[in-house]
Structure 1
Amino acid sequence: MRLLSLNLGRAAAVPYTDQPQGLTGIDKRPVDHPVLVTAPGPKGTGGSGLAGDAVCDLRHHGGDDQAVYAVAREDLDAWERELGRPLANGSFGENLTTEGLDVSDAVIGERWQVGAELVLEVTGGRIPCRTFQGHLGERGWVRRFTQKGATGAYLRVIVPGEIRAGDAIRVVHRPGHGVTARMEFRATTTERDLLPRLLDAGEALHPEALAQARKYVARQGG
């Protein structure tokens, strides 16, 4: 398992985002130099966990629980076959393009060591948005991405560190509850009956998903 590509984005003006300033950093491009990864701070104030990476819409992106976004190269390859077009590393706006790691089915709370120091923890899956659809230029993309459920994974920073493309990735901790990033995505989008299962992941879950699951259970009288 390794970090195939390390990708950073710069703020750019585009016509397809509802971000107030019309800017997005979704167009991530591979870099060949080391990058420091740290916890960026609370959502709404902190952006990306990667130095030099732009996050423009702080309402929905960035912050400690979405500090890093990872996508498996294998999932990009599957989309290439389905869409009939090449997808470069970084095409999904991911910071980390991995190889040999099942990212979408990573367990919430699973921890990865990337390189010598950095430790990341899986918090949940990625919700597709208008900006993502505009960036890909595919009609009906939000629906297609949601149906497939290969969400990639958001991660928080447990131990900061410097990484670069080619670094090894090791799973150093995997909880036994079985709640995956894919399951969290399905529960919070199309299969709300799965929401009670998310509680098994506890505080490792993204706080917004955890609150949603607790609210659902309370309404059901559970």
Structure 2
Amino acid sequence: MRVLTVNVGRTRAVEYSDRPTAIDKRPVEGTVQVAEPGPSGIGGSALAGDMIGDLRHHGGSDQAVYAFAREDLDDWERELGRPLHNGIFGENLTTEGLEVSDALIGERWRIGGGPLLEVTDGRIPCRTFQGWLGEKGWVRRFTQRARTGAYLRVIEPGGVRAGDRVEIVYRPDHGVTASMGFRAATTERTLLPEVLAAGDALHGELRRIADEYVAKYGRA
């Protein structure tokens, strides 16, 4: 299990969004420092040199780093019939040999000798993602696949670089994966009570949604 590339992006204006976006991430050489970016709405990306265009919906402590598996990019390449470079889904870390979407919320990864990261949730697609890829019905297709990649928070800072080994140093004893959290928030709302088993590791927004659901409908 390793990091294939570390990807960062700069914000720029685009015709498919009313806000600048840095979704076009590109691999960089050398070591990139990763540190806690600050709370949602204020903090951006955890990676030095990486920018966030929409701080309301992206970045911050619970979405500090975004990881996506090269194996899932390869599947999309075959389906879409076009090459997909590392970073094209806006991911900061393109991985190899790691079940990113099936990672447990609260699972912790040590990247090389550098940062310790904790899985918080899966990525929900937006119109900017669809506009960037230029694929008709992309939000629906990505949602149906539910191979979301994983958002991570920074537990300990450090440097990352292409080729670093990813070591899973902790797995919680529940079964709530990043993909399950995504499905609970989107297509399978009846899963919301179950995701609360992930406890404090949950992405703050997902916890809020799940708590409101339980208050209204109960846990059954």
The normalised TM-score by structure 1 is 0.97
Q: Could you tell me which residue of structure 1 aligns to residue 106 of structure 2?
A: 109
Match of 1:18 in 2: 18
AA aligned opposite 1:2: R
Match of 1:37 among 13, 34, 38: 34
Alignment gaps of 5+ in structure 1: none
Residue 168 of structure 1 and its aligned partner are, at CA, apart by 0.5
- AA partner of residue 76 (structure 2): W
The letter of the residue matching 2:9 is G
Give structure 2 stretches of 5+ with no counterpart. none
The residue aligned with 1:3 is 3
Number of corresponding residues: 219
Of 170, 174, 181, the match for 1:173 = 170
C-alpha root-mean-square deviation of aligned residues, in Å?
A: 0.7
Could you tell me how far 1:127 is from its partner in structure 2?
A: 0.5
Which of 121, 124, 131 is residue 121 of structure 2 equivalent to? Answer: 124
**Could you tell me which residue of structure 2 aligns to residue 192 of structure 1?**
189
Q: Shift of residue 176 of structure 1?
A: 1.2
What's the offset of the Cα at 1:33?
1.5
Deviation at 1:56, TM superposition (A): 1.2
Partner of 1:159: 156
The CA distance in 2 between the partners of 1:134 and 1:34, in whole Å, is 31
| Secondary structure in structure 1 of the residue aligned to 2:41 | coil
1:90-124 Cα deviation digits (max 9, x unpaired): 01000000000000000000000001021000000
Q: Distance in 1 between matches of 2:205 and 2:199?
A: 12
Per the normalisation by structure 2, the TM-score is 0.98
Q: What's 1:49 paired with?
A: 46
Give 4+ residue runs of structure 1 displaced > 3 Å after superposition. none
| SS of residue in 2 equivalent to 1:212 | helix
SS at match of 2:209: helix
Distance 2:137 2:52 in 1: 24
How far apart are the structure 1 equivalents of 2:127 and 2:176?
27
